[in-house]
Structure 1
């Protein structure tokens, strides 16, 4: 099985097919022994390097020291070195920790999806931000939170009134009527939330907030006019998701007396990962994952997608070969994804990914150790409590292709165990955004 943790996180788990992957090392290499805390806590066993794997250069003593500092910082959340401006200049090949751990990060999967839309309309974002901030306001105990909620609401209402013309002008022409209707519902909903606040009904705030943000997200989606860029020619004939799609994954949970069956709702983002999302949707429509067991669940990730037999990915019946897809990473400020290389390999050490590993249940592709373009069918969901992945300071962003988020029942991923069965995955919305569906060609 392809894995997702560097060789420096090798574990002492027993040898088995599940835990003998080729493990990628394209992220920061920590000069620790295999018996250290990271090794014991988090990764599968390492496999031997083969002659076709990429050569990885050795770190200098200085780089090793910085790597140690990064490792400690990742675990504790606090950087251990006070690097001066001269130090950064002397060692430009390492990312700025202030970038990695800047925050506060967005952890809500639906908020991440809203901000990841390919739009540039400041007016709607100024409505969205204070509505999102209601979540933090509600962290205050008791009804005192309502005063902060009211301030958020007034800010959002003012932004909507002042920016409504600009918001409407940003709607795609074919979607303008629907967008205007949604804005009217948003205004009415804000009035209803104001009444909730005046009634001091704290419990009713969060459901109404969610409703308002759904209106905002729908308006933002109506600002997207077609697919915003061309996929590189070498990948253009692959299954591509040119937009978004939603799937429901039904998992049979065997050993939890309180949870027999769970349905996870997952939104796939083809705007930022069209090849990765398209490949997955194509496999879903082939029923590739139906009946497959969960193959890894270690408190760090939940992983599946390794078919029975010697193959570690999907064998395309039309070619009788494993179908692989390129590593696909969209960075903030870019108009199209990067393909075939990690952000680190591209020298983009300070770049932030459009789809970050911030949310519990972030969904991404597993791949082989030294080959960026080796992903096929194996997928994983990150469980955010891991000490190795504090938001904005993890070693996964820019190295693995995120292509969606679990938006409903994500907390139950922590209850999923090895051997639990995926009964089915079904596309419930957005299938019409899939182009070049190979499952139809195969019949």
Structure 2
């Protein structure tokens, strides 16, 4: 069995905490993970995003029963391929969604690479470029094979990608937006040359040089795919159209001063914000970044499950817009795969879309999303979190996060260092390094 979820007895402690304990057994390893659920705004005040203490024993018990039922059903489903789960939503913690069919959970390993997730999330429909992209991404799995066989598998991946590029080049170039034709052709040419260079690397049996070249080739692929996007693909609902909106993508660098850690002192996290799939959410964040809202702010939660910040000093739990002197809130914003625009103001569970796939899933280590009040969908303001998890333990669209919290970006560089952050570490600065011209209605330009 690729992954086995094991339920453990609830604690008999007089002060139980809402935690999830799971055992993951996969091939060569077994790891025990404990996760605390619920998002809180600060360690110094009563938690805003946690369950009430009086509710914990009953909900913990329910969750353990649910985990046991799920584990048994999943095991049977793997053997018979004919089991469907029918658990009540009332039994799920934090109002979690009904679990989807077992067949959805075991359909395949999740994509965990943030750059791959971002490529797949682009609003394009060009089969030819995707057929080039997929075998190049598969090189990652080929390199996991030991010995010289890995390079043979890489060469097969390269042949598939080269063939797809040769056969689909005309379709690829025709899919590039007219205003970006020159740049798109330049990227395709670099992709072709880079494939020739990768072939030379393989022939020289230089295994260590494969991964850097693969990253370069996939960057060219991503650039071509971005060149295929011709303007912003849909209209923002009128009630949100005057908010800061990111119509496209932006990249920010977050510099964090790490305390009491001899292994790391300063770290810069590169984050790509996706306004194609979360324009209001990403626009709100970029606007706050330009206001230097996060500069000097401490990390306020770091518990191995999430890293969270964004709660300002004082009684307010969000950003107070100086033009209104009120907390600025944004709607819950979820883009569903196959949809032309996001859904607003409701979770996928509330909409009855239990099997819908989110375009920006909680797959990658360092997935970035908005924290909000558990029972108020449209209560997000300035608090953000980065998820630290292994996707096999909480499958995409079958966990309590996908479709319930708005993802709007991924950490693409130095994401592993997120696990080293602690409460009290300081965000020295967050700076937009590209894509600021995609922000419309920037409120930071309005004089306070």
User: TM-score, normalising length from structure 1?
Assistant: 0.85
- Give unmatched runs, 5+ long, in structure 1: 40-64
Give secondary structure in 2 for the equivalent of 1:414.
helix
Matched, 1:17 2:22: no
Distance 2:362 2:51 in 1: 17
Distance 2:99 2:445 in 1: 46
How far the C-alpha of 1:68 sits from its partner, in A, is: 5.1
Quickly say closer, same or farther: Cα 1:164–1:350, change in 2 above 3 A. Answer: same
Distance 2:214 2:430 in 1: 29
Quickly say closer, same or farther: Cα 1:99–1:177, change in 2 above 3 A. Answer: same
Give secondary structure in 1 for the equivalent of 2:181.
helix
Distance 2:129 2:83 in 1: 40
Over aligned residues, Cα RMSD in angstroms?
Answer: 2.9
Matched, 1:375 2:402: no
Matched, 1:79 2:74: yes
Residue in 1 that maps onto 2:177: 172
Higher-RCO chain (CA-CA 8 Å, sequence separation at least 6): 1
Instruction: Choose which of 109, 117, 123 in structure 2 pairs with 1:118.
Output: 123
Residue in 2 that maps onto 1:301: 306
Matched, 1:219 2:224: yes
Contact residue 363 and residue 380 of structure 1 kept, 8 A: yes
Residue in 2 that maps onto 1:191: 196
Q: How does 1:71-150 map to 2 (within 5 A)?
A: 72=71, 79-80=74-75, 82=77, 94-150=99-155
Instruction: Choose which of 410, 423, 426 in structure 2 pairs with 1:421.
Output: 426
Instruction: Choose which of 229, 242, 248 in structure 2 pairs with 1:243.
Output: 248
Residue in 1 that maps onto 2:335: 330
Distance 1:434 1:334 in 2: 23
Instruction: Choose which of 285, 289, 311 in structure 1 pairs with 2:316.
Output: 311
Contact residue 86 and residue 99 of structure 2 kept, 8 A: no
Matched, 1:359 2:380: no
Instruction: Note the alpha carbon deviations across 1:242-268, whole angstroms, 9 max, x for none.
Output: 000000000000011110100000000
Distance 2:180 2:137 in 1: 24
How far the C-alpha of 1:20 sits from its partner, in A, is: 1.5
Distance 1:436 1:24 in 2: 36
How far the C-alpha of 1:398 sits from its partner, in A, is: 0.5
Distance 1:125 1:266 in 2: 24
Q: How does 1:260-271 map to 2 (within 5 A)?
A: 260-271=265-276
How far the C-alpha of 1:391 sits from its partner, in A, is: 4.8
Give secondary structure in 1 for the equivalent of 2:262.
coil
Contact residue 325 and residue 376 of structure 1 kept, 8 A: yes
Contact residue 31 and residue 68 of structure 1 kept, 8 A: no
Quickly say closer, same or farther: Cα 1:283–1:345, change in 2 above 3 A. Answer: same
Give secondary structure in 1 for the equivalent of 2:369.
strand
User: TM-score, normalising length from structure 2?
Assistant: 0.84
Residue in 1 that maps onto 2:168: 163
Distance 2:51 2:239 in 1: 24
Instruction: Note the alpha carbon deviations across 1:391-422, whole angstroms, 9 max, x for none.
Output: 55422101100000000000000000000000
Quickly say closer, same or farther: Cα 1:257–1:148, change in 2 above 3 A. Answer: same
Instruction: Note the alpha carbon deviations across 1:160-218, whole angstroms, 9 max, x for none.
Output: 00000000110000001110111011000000000000000000000000000000000
Instruction: Note the alpha carbon deviations across 1:379-398, whole angstroms, 9 max, x for none.
Output: 00000148853455422101
Distance 2:411 2:87 in 1: 41
- Give unmatched runs, 5+ long, in structure 2: 1-16, 21-35, 90-97
How far the C-alpha of 1:282 sits from its partner, in A, is: 0.2
Give secondary structure in 1 for the equivalent of 2:431.
strand
Distance 1:235 1:35 in 2: 38
Contact residue 370 and residue 406 of structure 2 kept, 8 A: yes
Distance 2:47 2:147 in 1: 51
Instruction: Choose which of 256, 261, 266 in structure 2 pairs with 1:256.
Output: 261
Contact residue 100 and residue 398 of structure 2 kept, 8 A: no
Distance 1:85 1:226 in 2: 45
Distance 1:377 1:357 in 2: 19
Matched, 1:277 2:282: yes
Quickly say closer, same or farther: Cα 1:88–1:431, change in 2 above 3 A. Answer: same
